[in-house]
Amino acid sequence: MGKHFSLTATDSHQLGAYRADPSGKPKGGIVVIQEIFGVNNHIRNVCDKFAEEGYVAVAPALFDRQVKDFQSGYTPPEIEKARSFIAKPDWDAMLRDTDAAIKEIKSVGPVAIVGYCMGGSIAFLAACRLSGLSAAVAYYGGAIAKNADEKPKCPVQMHFGEKDAGIPMTDVEIIKQKRPDTEIYTYPDAGHGFHCDERGSYHQGSSATAWGRTMSFLQRHMK
């Protein structure tokens, strides 16, 4: 359904991206932010799914500054390698690349950002630091708690699994206390990565509920 193309950030860095377009007139645009596994099959499928819902979806390749077109699966060795990319994350650089994706699709209508894992943290930071977003949805962003003093410029929705070994519920409580202006959901039977149907941690029921909440949230705020 989609196509691969290039984006250019404000510092002239060129990065790859994947774009999926709806069949009819777009409702708006969605910037989809990857997990640590790159713009892989799962992220492309997420873009395609948003396109089926009527949105233009673009996923920027945020690791292109380190390795061009990095994509990974989910075996233990692949996960270990993928984690090396965020040993010392350059959030500012990734936000520049995210901003390039926002600007790419702003002409189609309201723009939202939806991110997963590392991308969940970026979705929250983008809501606080970037312009041009009507809504942001963050799935299990591990760096949100330590940045929760920052105030979003647009409505934000978050999703966390209560069995997430990497994001304790104490972190989620911190976010709830500091950011009562955000919509936060937790899922009792879900762990980290519960929305990815290619991972062992996939939890169908939680994923379906979170997707329904995401779509409803986008419809409310992308007008």
**Positions marked catalytic:** 117, 164, 192
* Cα separations in angstroms, 161 against 37, 189, 220: 19, 7, 24
Residue ranges of alpha helices (H) inside the chain are 41-52, 76-83, 91-105, 118-129, 169-178, 204-221
Task: Provide DSSP, 60-80.
Answer: E-TTTTTSTT-B---SHHHHH
Q: What DSSP character marks residue 178?
A: H
- Report the alpha-carbon distance of residue 54 to residue 87 in Å, rounded: 36
Whose tokens are 């989809």? That residue is 32
- 204: its two tokens: 């169908």
Q: Residue 75 is encoded by which pair of tokens?
A: 């075996």
